[in-house]
């Protein structure tokens, strides 16, 4: 129900556009004043009366109905009260009939959105720095699908660059097949770190590494077999984490996929007079736009990260004909994306305006004393996401052991809770904010956390198991707790829309928290099971609707709900 529109249609003020009335409707700061209000100051000129008189006149001609039960004039404002029962009935019947689909829409019908996210680097550890892009991107992917868009998830793998020549060198020099098979990316990282240490003393190693890299590019069989093996190992490992975080992709076309797709772009840049020589390299000059030049080809003829992104953008437009293409990448790459968007614009691609950099802040981990855990890829002191998840699993297991030791299948639940806590924490704030999290904070069952929401949902499940099916509640008069809860549930569709418009999954996180806290208030103030029939039936339906709202929200975020907790 769009109350703003409803108010506008009902008042039908002569000479004033309905859209304008609707957009003037506000939510009063104090709920006691009403659920919605219309300031009448704007209409004074057209209606040639004082705002106070206008409000009084409109209030006098108002007739209550099943949607709005009252309208009062106060100092030039009209205050409306929603018909409690009307809203509650409409909400419950909608939520319960739509179930898993509640909150979804068809607003994106016929539209395609490409989402480039996670985009990991081959043979590099999947560390805590990849958490945000993975879970923000994953949430956006599900949100867009939920709203009827054709969403295309793309993992733009970092699988190109001289580092692979170095890795081949290191593997040939000190590697062992079995050790790599067993140790996976950790072992590859160890080799890579060793390469860096030793090459500081021995500069000729870099020439060798470059030669290996060239061999990969030239299609040399052995080098490509090794390279593809490294890639396989990386993907196999990361698949496990993706599964746990409920992440999926439609394409794994990474940087090397564009090897043969850059030349046409370079030719086009040349043809359009955009390519300039600079110290032997080829660049696009962006000084008119206050940006450093975009490097297209190095002096040795090698392409760059930007060259591949230009080719990738063109390829995606050709292949998917997207309406929007999102890049969920840390804000450190702001300049990179501004540059490539500008270059595409200069090439005359009118769709360059549809490319959006979804930037996010840094994630770091705090130790027991609240100090930031230091991280450096070079030294191999990274905080692996896998380890963070594992630690959260074991810590939630401890909590469960102490709170509910008889729980069945504790391990599975501890996993769902630990992982849920990490995802929820990463999606709890506006994405651009830097976040530093500590295990205790994100796992606090009473805080603004994933476990708190999961616990609420599990509690509802338990009420429903005990409460049975229920039935009619005709004639029941809901109280304020019940109304506030139902009213919050009814906003879910708007929440989903705002999350999409603002590209902010945290609207959904916040919704889940709000519903949980309203539910808990309702639950502590009101009995359910022991109540007389009508009341019990109503409350059971309200519980069911609450569970649908929380489940749908958590599913969008990639978080599972334990049956019991």
Binding site for ligand ARG (CB under 6 A): 116, 119, 121, 156, 158, 309, 312, 327, 329
213 contact partners, CB below 8 Å, separation of at least 6: 161, 162, 164, 165, 166, 168
Give the residue with the Cβ less far from ligand ARG, 116 or 448.
116
List own/partner pairs for 517-524 with CB under 8 A and 24 or more apart: 518/481, 518/484, 518/485, 518/488, 519/456, 519/460, 519/485, 519/546, 519/550, 520/456, 521/481, 521/484, 522/481, 522/482, 522/484, 522/485, 523/459, 523/463
Nearer to ligand ARG, 121 or 189 (CB): 121
Nearer to ligand ARG, 311 or 489 (CB): 311
The least CB distance from residue 286 to ligand ARG, in Å, is 18
Of 312 and 549, which has the nearer Cβ to ligand ARG?
A: 312
DSSP class of residue 332?
G
Nearer to ligand ARG, 51 or 158 (CB): 158
Give me the least distance between CB of 332 and ligand ARG, in Å please.
Answer: 8
CB of 162 to ligand ARG, least distance (A): 15
Quote the least distance from Cβ 330 to ligand ARG, whole Å: 7
Q: To 5 degrees, how large is the angle CA 413–CA 510–CA 489?
A: 90
Question: Minimum distance from CB of 139 to ligand ARG (Å)?
Answer: 17
CB nearer to ligand ARG: pick between 121 and 509? 121
User: Considering beta carbons, is residue 229 or 331 the nearer one to ligand ARG?
Assistant: 331
Q: Which of 167, 166, 153 is nearest to 233 (CA)?
A: 167
Query: Which residue number, 329 or 458, has a Cβ lying nearer to ligand ARG?
Result: 329
> What is the C-alpha end-to-end distance of the chain, expressed in Å?
35
> How far apart are the C-alpha atoms of 285 and 213, rounded to whole Å?
29
Pair 440, 411: CB distance under 8 Å: no
Q: Are 291 and 282 in contact (CB under 8 A)?
A: no
Name the minimum Å distance from CB 115 to ligand ARG: 11
Name the minimum Å distance from CB 154 to ligand ARG: 8
Report in angstroms how near the CB of residue 160 gets to ligand ARG at its nearest.
10
* Nearest distance from C-beta of residue 243 to ligand ARG, angstroms: 21
- Which among 127, 140, 161 is positioned nearest to 357, based on CA atoms? 140
Least separation in angstroms between residue 333's CB and ligand ARG is: 7
Please check whether residue 85 is in contact with residue 110, taking contact to mean a CB–CB distance below 8 angstroms: no
Q: Which of these, 81, 201, 213, 116, lies nearest to 159 by C-alpha position?
A: 213
Min CB(307)–ligand ARG separation in Å: 11
Question: Residue 88: what are its φ and ψ, rounded to 5°?
Answer: -65, -45
Cα–Cα nearest to 186, from 250, 239, 234? 234
Gap between the Cα atoms of 507 and 553, Å rounded: 10
Rounded to the nearest 5°, which phi and psi values hold at 368? -55, -30
Residue with the two structure tokens 């639950």: 523
Q: C-beta of 364: minimal distance to ligand ARG in Å?
A: 17
Backbone angles phi, psi at 280, to 5 degrees: 85, -15
Residue 275 region by backbone torsions, left for phi larger than 0, else alpha for psi between -120 and 50, else beta: beta
Q: Report d(CA 481, CA 535) in Å as an integer.
A: 13
Give residues with Cβ within 8 angstroms of 19, minimum separation 6. 8
């Amino acid at each position: 129900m769009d109350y703003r529109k409803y108010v506008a249609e009902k008042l039908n003020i002569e000479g004033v556009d309905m859209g304008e009335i609707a957009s003037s409707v506000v939510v009063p700061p104090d709920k006691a004043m009403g659920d919605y209000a219309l300031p009448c100051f704007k209409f004074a000129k057209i209606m040639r009366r004082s705002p106070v008189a206008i409000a009084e006149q409109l209030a006098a001609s108002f007739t209550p109905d099943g949607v709005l039960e009252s309208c009062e004039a106060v100092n030039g404002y009209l205050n409306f009260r929603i018909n409690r029962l009307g809203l509650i009935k409409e909400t419950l019947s909608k939520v319960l009939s739509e179930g898993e689909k509640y909150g979804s829409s068809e607003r994106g019908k016929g539209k395609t959105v490409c989402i480039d996210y996670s985009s990991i680097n081959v043979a590099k550890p999947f560390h805590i720095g990849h958490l945000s892009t993975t879970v923000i991107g994953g949430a956006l992917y599900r949100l867009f699908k939920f709203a009827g868009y054709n969403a295309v998830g793309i993992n733009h793998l970092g699988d190109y660059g001289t580092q692979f020549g170095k890795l081949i060198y290191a593997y040939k020099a000190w590697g062992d097949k079995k050790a790599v098979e067993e140790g996976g990316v950790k072992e590859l990282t160890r080799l890579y770190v060793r390469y860096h240490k030793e090459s500081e003393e021995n500069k000729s190693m870099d020439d060798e590494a470059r030669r290996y890299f060239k061999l990969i590019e030239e299609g040399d069989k052995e080098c490509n077999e090794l390279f593809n093996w490294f890639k396989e190992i990386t993907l196999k490992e990361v698949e496990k984490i993706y599964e746990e975080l409920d992440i999926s992709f439609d394409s794994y076309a990474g940087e090397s996929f564009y090897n043969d797709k850059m030349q046409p772009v370079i030719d086009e840049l040349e043809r359009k007079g955009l390519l300039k020589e600079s110290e032997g390299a080829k660049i696009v000059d962006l000084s008119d736009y206050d940006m450093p030049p975009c490097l297209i080809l190095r002096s040795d003829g090698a392409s760059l990260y930007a060259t591949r992104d230009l080719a990738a953008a063109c390829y995606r437009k050709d292949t998917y004909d997207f309406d929007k293409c999102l890049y969920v990448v840390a804000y450190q790459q702001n300049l990179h994306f501004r540059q490539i968007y500008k270059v595409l614009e200069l090439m005359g691609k009118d769709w360059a305006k549809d490319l959006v950099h979804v930037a996010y802040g840094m994630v770091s981990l705090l130790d027991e004393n609240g100090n930031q855990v230091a991280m450096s890829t070079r030294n191999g002191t990274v905080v692996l996401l896998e380890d963070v998840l594992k630690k959260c699993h074991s810590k939630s297991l401890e909590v469960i052991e102490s709170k509910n030791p008889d729980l069945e299948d504790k391990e599975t639940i501890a996993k769902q809770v630990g992982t849920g806590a990490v995802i929820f924490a990463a999606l709890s704030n506006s994405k651009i904010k830097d976040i530093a999290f500590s295990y205790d904070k994100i796992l606090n069952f009473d805080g603004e956390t994933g476990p708190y929401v999961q616990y609420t949902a599990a509690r509802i499940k338990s009420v429903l198991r005990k409460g049975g099916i229920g039935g009619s509640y005709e004639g029941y008069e809901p109280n304020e707790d019940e109304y506030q809860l139902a009213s919050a549930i009814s906003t879910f569709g708007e929440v989903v829309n705002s999350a999409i418009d603002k590209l902010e999954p945290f609207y959904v996180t916040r919704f889940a928290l709000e519903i949980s806290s309203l539910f808990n208030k309702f639950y502590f103030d009101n009995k359910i099971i022991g109540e007389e029939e009508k009341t019990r039936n109503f409350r059971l339906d309200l519980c069911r609707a609450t569970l649908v709202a929380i489940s749908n929200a958590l599913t969008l975020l990639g978080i599972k709900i334990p049956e019991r907790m």
